[in-house]
Amino acid sequence: MVRGIHHNALNWSLFSRLGHRGRHILASVRKKMKVSRETAGVLRYEFEMIWLNLHNAVSVNHSRKLRAAVAQDNIRLNIGCGSDVLDGWINIDSFAPSINAANVLLLDLRAPLPFRDGSVACVYTEHFLEHLDRYDHGKQLLREIHRVLRPGGVVRVIVPDGRKLLEAYFDQAHPLRAAFPEAGNWMDFINVIARGGHKYLYDANVLLSDLREAGFSQFDECQAGEGKHPDVLLDNPDAQRRAFSLYVEALK
């Protein structure tokens, strides 16, 4: 089975379900009001999270799903799963095809994780951390992951690697360029990666520093498909994604 990448193309968001005409009308209103795309995106996301949090507060189905997740004995979290839903894991995201999707626990991941201290065996998070503002919510999520992990628990964090992208900008023979022959203007490509819904572009030094600050004492930069902890060695096999990604494991 081909594993999904990133968010579902169609999700529960009212905006994602608008037809071409609805999107055109909204775009016209935005332009008339002189609202930038970036500002409109922030407003849209805040509206979506308000809607999600209200839904979760009153949904019996969500409460039942959350209780079942918290009560598990060997909790394994796939945080920011998008469409990459893993069997045997609690798959968490803010979006899914349905707001009552059976296989995804929908949460606003800027809030504290709803799991007890030391109750989680391991955490896997691939291409999600960069979607959070590093200072307001990214560091908080890493602290939350440290809190819920049991002693000896491990997290594998995968994000776009800013260093690789910049190295490839200066070196036209860099192997990353060969992985993206369709990229064209490399500065445009860097902006697509850095600004495509992303809030921060990490390198190994920054990510390891944030993990240390979150409380982790052991961490290693890894290669795609490699690591010391088989339980979290779940890297998406997509070759292009692997080419520009940074892989880190941290142990509590």
Question: pLDDT by residue (tens digit) across 8-63?
Answer: 667 898 888 888 888 889 889 999 999 998 898 889 999 999 999 999 999 999 99
Report the percent of the chain where pLDDT is more than 90: 79
* 166 residue type, one letter: L
Judge contact between 238 and 5, C-beta under 8 A. Answer: yes
Torsion angle defined by CA atoms of residues 50, 39, 186 and 83, in that order, rounded to the nearest 10 degrees: 20
The DSSP element (H or E) to which 40 belongs, if any, is helix 37-58
Task: Give CATH for domain 20-251.
Answer: 3.40.50.150
Claim: this prediction has a pTM higher than 0.75: yes
Q: How confident is the model at residue 70 (pLDDT cuts 50, 70, 90)?
A: very high
Rounded CA-CA distance 63/56 in Å is: 7
Provide the b/e sequence for 17-55 (b: ≥16 CB within 10 Å).
Answer: eeeeeeeeeeeeeeeeeeeeeeebeeeebeebbeebeee
Model confidence pLDDT, tens digit, residues 135-190: 999 999 999 999 999 999 999 999 999 999 999 999 999 999 999 999 889 999 99
Q: How confident is the model at residue 6 (pLDDT cuts 50, 70, 90)?
A: low
Q: In a 10 Å sphere around its CB, with 0-12 CB exposed, 13-18 middle and 19+ buried, how is residue 203 labelled?
A: middle
